[in-house]
Chain A
Amino acid sequence: MVHHHHYHEYMQQKIRRNTSNQQQQNKRHKFFINDNIDILREILKRLDGPSLGVASCVCRLWCNLTNNDDSIWEHLCFRHVLTPPPATVRPVVVALGGYKRLYMVCVRPVLSRLSESERVMKRVWTRHEVQLSLSLFCIDSYERLAGGGGMIASDASPSSLMFLCNPINV
Chain B
Amino acid sequence: MEIEIDSVSSPSKVKEIDGLLADVGYKVKSSELHQVAQNIERLENVIVNSSSSDISQFASDTIHYDPSDIGNWVDNLLSEFDHTNSLPYDFSQLSDLAQDQHQHHHHHHQNHQLKVVTTVEEDSAIKLIHMLMTCADSLQRGNIQLAGSLIEGMQGLLTNMNTNSGIGKVAGYFIDALNRRIFGQNNIIHIENDVLYHHYYEACPYLKFAHFTANQAILEAFNGHDCVHVIDFNLMHGLQWPALIQALALRPGGPPFLRLTGIGPPSHDDRDNLREIGLRLAELARSVNVRFAFRGVAAWRLEDVKPWMLQVSSKEAVAVNSIMQLHRLLGSEPDPNNPSAIETVLGWIRSLNPKIMTVVEQEANHNEDGFMDRFTEALHYYSTVFDSLEACPVEPDKAMAEIYLQREICNVVCCEGPARVERHEPLIKWRERLGKTGFRPLHLGSNAFKQASMLLTLFSAEGYCVEENQGSLTLGWHSRPLIAASAWQAVPETLRFDH
Contacts and interface: CB of A to CB of B under 8 A. Distances in A.
A92 B249 contact: yes
Nearest to A145: B280
A166 B283 contact: no
B195 A149 contact: no
A110 B451 CA distance: 13
A96 B243 CA distance: 12
B451 A162 contact: no
- By secondary structure, the B interface counts as helix
A168 B447 CA distance: 25
Contact of A92 (B199, B246, B273, B393): B246
A109 B392 CA distance: 17
Contacts of A142: 238-239, 242, 280-281, 284
Interface stretch (A14-22, A55-63, A66-74, A130-138): A130-138
A132 B19 contact: no
Given A131-B247, A138-B242, A138-B246, A152 B288 contact: no
Given A119-B15, A128-B447, A128-B451, A113 B250 contact: no
A159 B250 contact: no
A108 B8 CA distance: 32
A163 to B, nearest CB: 6
B496 to A, nearest CB: 37
A170 B457 contact: no
A152 B451 CA distance: 28
B242 A151 contact: no
Interface stretch (A4-12, A35-43, A83-91): A83-91
A119 B12 CA distance: 11
Contacts of B458: 110, 113-114, 163-164
Given A117-B457, A151-B276, A163 B394 contact: yes
A64 B156 CA distance: 63
Contact of B277 (A117, A135, A141, A151): A151
Given A132-B455, A138-B245, A151-B276, A88 B237 contact: no
A146 interface: yes
The size class of the interface chain A forms with chain B is: 35 or more
Nearest to B280: A145
A150 B229 CA distance: 28
B396 A155 contact: yes
B424 to A, nearest CB: 25
Nearest to B22: A119
A167 interface: yes
B450 A128 contact: yes
B459 interface: yes
Nearest to B203: A163
A146 B276 CA distance: 10
Interface in B331-386: none
A105 interface: no
Contacts of A141: 242, 284
B432 to A, nearest CB: 33
Given A128-B447, A145-B280, 15 more contacts: A95-B288, A113-B458, A128-B450, A132-B454, A135-B247, A138-B242, A139-B239, A139-B242, A142-B280, A145-B284, A146-B237, A153-B199, A162-B202, A166-B460, A168-B462
30 contacts: A86-B250, A86-B252, A88-B250, A91-B289, A92-B288, A96-B246, A96-B287, A113-B457, A128-B447, A128-B450, A128-B451, A132-B455, A135-B243, A135-B246, A138-B284, A139-B243, A141-B242, A141-B284, A142-B280, A146-B280, A149-B276, A149-B280, A153-B199, A163-B459, A163-B460, A167-B460, A168-B460, A168-B462, A170-B391, A170-B460
Top 5 nearest A-B pairs (CB, nearest first) are A138-B246, A135-B243, A142-B242, A95-B287, A138-B242
